[in-house]
Structure 1
Amino acid sequence: MKIQREALEKTFRAQPHGLYWISGDEPLLNIESADLLRRLAKDSGYLERERYVMEHNSDWEPIMASVGTLSLFASQKFIDIQFNAKFNDKFKAAMAYLVEQRDDQTLIVLSTTKVEASATKAKWFNSIEQHATHLPIWPIKSDEFKQWIVTRLESEQLAIEDDALAILAQRTEGNLLAASQEISALKLLDSDGILTAEKILEATADSARYDAFQLIEHALKGDISAAIRALNGLRGEGTEPIIVLSAIAANIRQLMAVKKLLAARSANDAELKRLGIFFNRVHLMREAAKRLTAVSLKMALEYCASADEAIKTSQTDYAWHQLEKLSLLLSGMMPEEVS
């Protein structure tokens, strides 16, 4: 069955299921959902945990052999699987086996990338979803991002003024992981629980996420050298590449939307603001969309996918190499010059 993220804990406590499948491309929500299931599993007596990170050609035999085998240390065990590849035949066969062999003594949590719409119509997928609990993670929409920040702040006993909220949303550019990190930092710094614009500016002035924001600003202005300096600075400071990638990808999607508006001669300020572009970036995004070609933006998306795959398979150097290509493309270099 399919459930929403908000119903996960209630559904689990009502009746723990044999197999939970978390799918999606929103890192923070994926991680937090898996963490919640781990806590719930431990509280419910699944004390022995087995952890597997699976790739395209990984051998599923150890996992399949473990299902149905009595635990040596506890009456119940928890199998935690991270799958970092496309849904190939080995994956489908393993999932069919795990669904068939599931029992009350073993809890399986599977984390994967999102399930494409075409896959949801396939027989193998419907068979799994019918017998497992599927938790699809959907990205937070741009018009929902501010409310997500407010809700997150409230969970930390923090309130925020409207101007401060606009700045924090702009700085984090729809990146939930970056926003969560900023909120954690703000909680440590704030004393009275009310965040003002001045506090946000002071607290984030030197943060890595702010540098990522500056990287994108330099690139969209066509300043190649400044963009590459910012990128190298981020890498040198130990910034997670997923934070940079998420920020760049969000801007690419906005640029493509602006380009469509330009073609329809409707790229006015109001339309751009409806895309989640803040007033002080409207002119920058409009001019960048005019300058960048459709071919460049399409190739940028391909580099995003390549960087994302590299991050998920722990190829960090290659991920940063793809981020460099992205920075060059957004700065105005032609695709043939970058590749």
Structure 2
Amino acid sequence: MRIFADRLMEQLSKQLHPTYLIFGNEPLLIQESRQTIQKSAFAQGFEERHRFSIDSSFDWNIVFDCCQAMSLFSARQLIELELPESGVNAAIAKELLAVSELLHNDIILVVIGSKLTKAQENAKWFKTLNNNGCWVNCLTPDIQRLPQFVQTRCRALNLKPDPEAVQLLAQWHEGNLFALTQSLEKLALIYPDGELNLIRLEESLSRHNHFTAFHWVDALLAGKANRAQRIIRQLEAEGVEVVILARTIQKELSQLLSMSQMLKAMPMGKVFDAYKVWQSKRPLYSSALNRLSVTRVSQLLQMLAKIELLAKTQYDQSSWPLLHQLSIEMCQPHVKL
């Protein structure tokens, strides 16, 4: 079965599965999921915890020995396997399948890794472990799911935000769930009645949100001008280099230009397949391709060249205003000719 991380506690209260697969890109959710499983396991008599970091030189016999320690005097065990950032290769997949055959009622296996690809989801090792367990999705909530995530966190701390407060908390802390957790804990101490509104938030919190160049690119592709400007202002305040942002969006614009040419001969789905665009990213590229003409993309690339030249040669003149202009223009709709 598959659940989001915020439903894990509810699931554990009903049943303790023999296997848990914790995968995602959000460190806070991964950390909390591990701790929640540990607490539940210990409460049900699992006295020992073994944590192993898997790499190419790892000795799997250590894990096999733990799994085979079955006697009247053996403690029930929680075994955590941290997979490498590079993912699961053929050798690791083989060993994971071997471990799955050794599991029994005195063992809970927890496998922890980064965001899964479709190929990994369909791999034999993953399906085998998931058939007997629970897949905990620890992906960072996107802008659509984040308000609901904020509300869930607030309820756990007996906080009662109004709709505007929920939206502001989500906006301030997008991309930084650790900061969101800290902010909510702070608010729970400051306001014992739990009532949260815009006035209270603005009085108590500073901006902790952290955006990356990739958040900005996604906003530009989607044509969300206000969001793109908010992100780029934050990046400028944090001292991110203009050249880094220029190079990042240059790659996307060059790809959009090539995609536009291919669209003359094939449908958009085929173009996305050719460029191996993830399903979650396809709406963003679709929006950009439908909004921007080939001429406009070429003009934006020319503007980027000016930005990069300015940033590298004119140290007494800021290139940020021109980058802000590009950000606005890329989000504006243009009739495709």
TM-score where L is the length of structure 2: 0.62
**253, 278, 285: which one pairs with 2:215?**
253
Following superposition, the deviation at residue 37 of structure 1 comes to 1.0
1:10 Cα deviation after fit: 5.4
TM-aligned CA distance change 1:282 to 1:38, over 3 Å: closer
Partner of 1:118: 119
Q: Is the 8 A contact 2:140 2:175 kept in 1?
A: no
Residue 106 of structure 1 aligns with an amino acid whose one-letter code is I
Q: Tell me, in whole angstroms, the C-alpha distance in 2 between the residues paired with 1:186 and 1:96.
A: 46
C-alpha distance in structure 1 between counterparts of 2:63 and 2:156, whole Å? 37
Q: Report the AA paired with residue 292 of structure 1.
A: A
Match of 1:65 in 2: 65
Point out where structure 1 has 5 or more consecutive residues left out of the alignment. 214-246, 262-266, 299-331
What is the deviation of 1:15?
4.7
Instruction: Work out which of the residue numbers 226, 230, 239 in structure 2 matches 1:281.
Output: 230
125 and 201 in structure 1: CA distance in 2 versus 1, 3 angstrom threshold: same
Inter-partner Cα distance in structure 2 for 1:171 and 1:127: 40
Q: Choose which of 226, 246, 254 in structure 2 pairs with 1:292.
A: 246
**Pair 98,257 (structure 1): closer, same or farther in 2 beyond 3 Å:** same
Structure 1 position 176, deviation (Å): 2.2
| Residue aligning to 2:158 | 157
The structural deviation recorded for 1:38 is 0.8
CA distance in 2, matches of 1:133, 1:163: 35
Distance, in Å, in 2 between the alignment partners of 1:72 and 1:48 is 15
Give the match for residue 241 of structure 1. Answer: none
Counterparts of residues 198-277 of structure 1 (less than 5 Å):
198-205=199-206, 210=207, 213=209, 247-249=210-212, 252-258=214-220, 260-261=221-222, 267=223, 271-272=224-225, 277=227
Q: Is the 8 A contact 1:99 1:131 kept in 2?
A: no
- Which residue identity does 2:135 align to in structure 1? H
Number of the residue aligned with 2:135 = 134
Q: What do the CA deviations read for 1:48-73 (whole angstroms, capped 9, x no partner)? A: 22222334543332112211214797
Q: 1:283 to 1:3 in 2, by over 3 A?
A: closer
Tell me the distance in 2 between the aligned counterparts of 1:24 and 1:135: 8
Aligned counterparts of 2:43 and 2:127: Cα–Cα separation in 1: 30
- Between the aligned partners of 1:57 and 1:192, the Cα distance in structure 2 is 54
Q: 1:121 to 1:151 in 2, by over 3 A?
A: closer
Q: Answer yes or no: is 1:53 the counterpart of 2:2.
A: no
Following the alignment from structure 2 to structure 1, what is the Cα–Cα distance between the partners of residues 49 and 73?
A: 10
Name 1:147's counterpart in structure 2.
148
- Paired position in structure 2 for 1:79: 79
Contact 1:146 1:169 in 2 (8 A): yes
Offset of residue 333 of structure 1:
6.3
Which residue does the alignment assign to 1:92?
93
**TM-fit CA distance, 1:120:** 2.0
Q: Quote the offset at 1:257 in angstroms.
A: 3.6
The whole-number CA distance in structure 2 between the counterparts of 1:174 and 1:190 is 25
Task: Flag the 1:88–1:333 CA change in 2: closer, same or farther, 3 A.
Answer: farther
Further displaced range: 70-79 or 40-49: 70-79
Aligned CA RMSD, in angstroms, stands at: 3.5
Q: Give the greater-gyration-radius structure (CA).
A: 2
AA matched with 2:42: K
Structure 1 residue matching 2:82: 3-state secondary structure: strand
CA distance in structure 2 between the partners assigned to 1:100 and 1:283 by the alignment: 51
SS, match of residue 143 in structure 1: coil
Matched, 1:167 2:168: yes
Structure 2, unaligned runs of 5 or more: 237-241, 253-306, 313-337
Q: Which residue of 1 aligns with 2:25?
A: 25
Deviation at 1:5, TM superposition (A): 4.1
TM-fit CA distance, 1:9: 4.6
Greater helix share, 1 or 2? 1
**Distance in 2 between the 1:133 and 1:154 partners?**
25
Deviations 1:68-98 (A, max 9, x none): 2147975412212322332123321221111
CA distance in 2, matches of 1:128, 1:10: 21
